[in-house]
Amino acid sequence: MGNADGERKRERPRGERGRPTRISYFNYTTHRPCDCGERSEARPLGRGGAVSAPTITGNSGSYVLEWPEAGVKATATRFKETDSGCSCEVRFTATAAAHPHLHQARLNLLNTSARRTLAKTLEDAFPLDQWEAIVEQLSCLALGEWREGEPVLYLSSTDEVQPRRYLVEPLVPEGQPSIVFGPGGIGKSTLCLYLASAVASGIVPDSLEWKAQNTGEVLYLDYEGDPDEQRRRLRGIAAGLGVEVGVHYKRLGTPIPKCLDRLLELRTEIDPALVVVDSLALAAGGDNVSADCATELYAALRQLNTTVLIVAHPPKNAEKKSVYGSAFYEYLARNIWEARGYVNSGGDGVTLALHNTKANYGRKQRPTGVELVWGEDCITAATVETRSIPEEVEKMSLTERILALLPDTGPMTAGDLAGAVGSTPDTVGRTLRRLADKKRVVKLDGNRYGAVAFREQLRQAYQERDGEVPF
């Protein structure tokens, strides 16, 4: 079916960060489809002069409609459907006026009398003979967008597939909810603010093996701290980066599902590439062990339609570390990092060992470490290998110890490795043969084994020596 007789196009291309890009809207002044900015010369709907169809932005229940020729803009938020109809909060402004506010009210979108009353009120505040047509357009378009939600897409195996993108690689995949959890007081909030600063500035220092693949505005929702403390952290991070950094900050006490309408408005105003939620338990509210509490939170976060990074905590004294509360907090997250903190010997910083315990869109990332150091005027961060953290080495399995050691030592025999990893030659030999079968290590001459990372270097060395490659 085409889009004749006023039907909107169902197929809409994807805009920045995967959001639908609107192509055309029904022109309620002509009863024919037209481009958003097209001037209409036909009969208007309702009394008053003709008015072109508005541009409309936003989604998930927060929309901005603008009539450039009339100099009018309206926002429609906080939708509510009841037996008596569907209503929303509307706010009208005059875009070129010194005092732009015109009127704010809750409008029953399906009530003709209510629409006419609003048009009359607006005409008294800002004389314009197109108000009835404008209010009619707002009612029909906003209601249609809200009820439709995301468009139905046809997915095909022949579609071009884009590679998985990260806001900050490898920690924060784009467009999905991620969690960083760990005990209190180890630097999780500072780490997440550092990640937020990388997104906001596009700057990652050479000391960190991160890549800022996409940049944009950041919205920080803080349930634990206060603006002054976050300013101090941000100032220290900016000094360490050597650039100015800014994020949008909102101190909250109301759970996200209960203040979603305001957050949708902020999403439309700010268009954040990243939303940081600090922290999970207070942001969810209610009984955190309840599945309903978890599902309501994720349903609300999904409507924000952007990347979300959540700070969380584990249960106290639990043998197996996990996110505190309902298992659905982990089920519905797409990416989870467990943070283990170790205070530096000098007491001026902390080293975080980050373990990727869940990754829905590919293989889990290998463990990585980040050292945060608090100087007099700055906060610096640097990547460290987890094998350089003694407490982490003690927790490693034999396989992990071997894989961590070989890149540093070069090729070794099972006997040589046994003393280094604290095991017997027979056990190490069996483990090495199993790893070689899985191509996680490479077997060389003389019963030596080397790291796969050096495969090409070793291959080149053998070719230069005698042209024969034993693997």
Q: What proportion of the chain, given as a percentage, has pLDDT over 90?
A: 65
Beta-carbon count within 10 A of 372 CB: 23
DSSP state of 388: G
The model's pLDDT over 207-256, given as tens digits with 9 standing for 90+, comes to: 999 999 999 999 999 999 999 999 999 999 999 999 999 999 999 999 99
In this prediction, residue 466 has a pLDDT band, given cuts at 50, 70 and 90, of: low
Does the pLDDT value for residue 168 go beyond 80? yes
**Fold: same for 166-391 and 396-465:** no
What tokens appear for 183 in the block?
Answer: 């005990």
pLDDT score recorded for residue 409: 82
For residues 422-426, average pLDDT = 91
State which H helix or E strand residue 21 sits in: none
| CA torsion through residues 431, 433, 434, 439, sign | positive
The model's pLDDT over 174-205, given as tens digits with 9 standing for 90+, comes to: 999 999 999 999 999 999 999 999 999 999 99
Beta-carbon count within 10 A of 117 CB: 14
Q: Say how many residues make up the chain.
A: 471
Q: 323 and 181 in contact (C-beta within 8 Å)?
A: yes
- Helix (H), strand (E), coil (C) string for 355-375: EEEEECCCCCCCCEEEEEEEC
The model's pLDDT over 90-130, given as tens digits with 9 standing for 90+, comes to: 999 999 989 999 999 999 999 999 999 999 999 999 999 99
State which H helix or E strand residue 212 sits in: strand 211-212
265 vs 26, residue with greater confidence: 265
DSSP states of 165-190 as a string?
A: -EEEETTEETTSEEEEE--TTSSHHH
What tokens appear for 363 in the block?
Answer: 């293989």
- What are the residue ranges of helices labelled H in 127-226? 131-148, 188-201
What tokens appear for 308 in the block?
Answer: 């979300």
The model's pLDDT over 24-51, given as tens digits with 9 standing for 90+, comes to: 333 333 333 333 333 333 334 334 567 8
193 vs 406, residue with greater confidence: 193
pLDDT score recorded for residue 239: 96
pLDDT score recorded for residue 3: 46
3-state secondary structure of 392: helix
Whole-angstrom Cα Rg for the chain: 29
CA–CA separation, 190 and 418 (whole Å): 39
For residues 86-91, average pLDDT = 95
Closest by CA position to 367, among listed 322, 328, 397, 334: 397
Domain definitions of the chain by residue range:
4-148, 166-391, 396-465
3-state secondary structure of 311: strand
Q: 375 and 348 in contact (C-beta within 8 Å)?
A: yes
pLDDT score recorded for residue 49: 61
* Ramachandran angles phi, psi of 280, nearest 5°: -60, -50
CATH (one of 3.40.50.300, 3.20.20.150, 1.10.3720.10, 1.10.10.10) for 166-391: 3.40.50.300
CA–CA separation, 414 and 432 (whole Å): 7
Q: 379 and 237 in contact (C-beta within 8 Å)?
A: yes
The model's pLDDT over 350-401, given as tens digits with 9 standing for 90+, comes to: 999 999 999 998 889 989 999 999 998 999 999 998 888 888 888 888 888 8
For residues 288-298, average pLDDT = 95
Q: 49 and 32 in contact (C-beta within 8 Å)?
A: no
In this prediction, residue 8 has a pLDDT band, given cuts at 50, 70 and 90, of: very low
CA–CA separation, 303 and 307 (whole Å): 11
CA–CA separation, 254 and 400 (whole Å): 43
Instruction: Please state whether beta strands 166-169 and 101-108 pair in parallel, antiparallel, or not at all (unpaired).
Output: unpaired
What tokens appear for 388 in the block?
Answer: 């350089």
The sheet with strand 211-212 has its strands ordered as: 172-173, 166-169, 211-212
Does the pLDDT value for residue 165 go beyond 50? yes
The DSSP bridge partners found for residue 90 are 76, 105
Q: What is the pTM of this model?
A: 0.76
**In one letter, which amino acid is 206?**
D
3-state secondary structure of 436: helix
337 vs 19, residue with greater confidence: 337
DSSP state of 130: T
Instruction: Please give the class, per CATH, of domain 396-465.
Output: mainly alpha
